[in-house]
Amino acid sequence: MDPKKTQIKDIMQAQVKTISAKTPIEAAAQMMYEQKVSSLIIEPVDERDSFGILTRKDVIEALIIDRMLEFPQLVEDVMSKPAITASGNLSIENCLKLMRMAGTRRLPVVDGTKLTGIISNTDIFISYFRKS
């Protein structure tokens, strides 16, 4: 794999798990566990809204560290929004730079306002060592 020539659309995961921002955090955690995913994407409510992302780290902090809060937590209380997104045409090299600058390990991949996939540092790592 040439990180300057390979585009993220070539190695991204096209199957993306999404969830409503109004979902209780416990239900989101259960979904992540059952689906064996480390993040969920929260889609925009309308064209003026942005994508959000809920990661395993967000869930752990909400369920374990912040347990002393007395109100029921929803996904919207702990998700990151707006999520940093990337176009599928972005090179792996530039995707890694963006991830490093943003301090994230995964990015929703979009085509305009449409969610088309998700790319993680694990996808890039596996692709780098995959035999062509």
Q: What is the rounded distance in angstroms from the CA atom of residue 42 to the CA atom of residue 93?
A: 26
Q: Give percent of the chain above pLDDT 90.
A: 67
Looking up residue 88, the CATH number of its domain turns out to be 3.10.580.10
Number of domains in the chain: 1
Q: Confidence band (pLDDT; 50, 70, 90) for 1? A: confident
Question: In this structure, what are the phi and psi dihedrals at residue 114, rounded to the nearest 5 degrees?
Answer: -100, 130
DSSP string, 78-109: HSBSSPP-EETTSBHHHHHHHHHHHT-SEEEE
Residue 82 lies in domain: 8-129
Q: Give percent of the chain above pLDDT 70.
A: 92
99 within domain boundaries: yes
Q: Confidence band (pLDDT; 50, 70, 90) for 46? A: confident
Of the two residues 64 and 82, the one the predictor is more confident about is: 82
**pLDDT exceeds cutoff 70 at 71:** no
118 within domain boundaries: yes
Q: Confidence band (pLDDT; 50, 70, 90) for 19? A: very high
**pLDDT exceeds cutoff 80 at 18:** yes
3 within domain boundaries: no
**pLDDT exceeds cutoff 90 at 60:** no
Helical H runs in 39-91?
56-60, 75-78
Q: Which of 91, 87, 93 is nearest to 115 (CA)?
A: 87
What is the H or E stretch that residue 110 is in? strand 106-111
Mean pLDDT of 69-85: 84
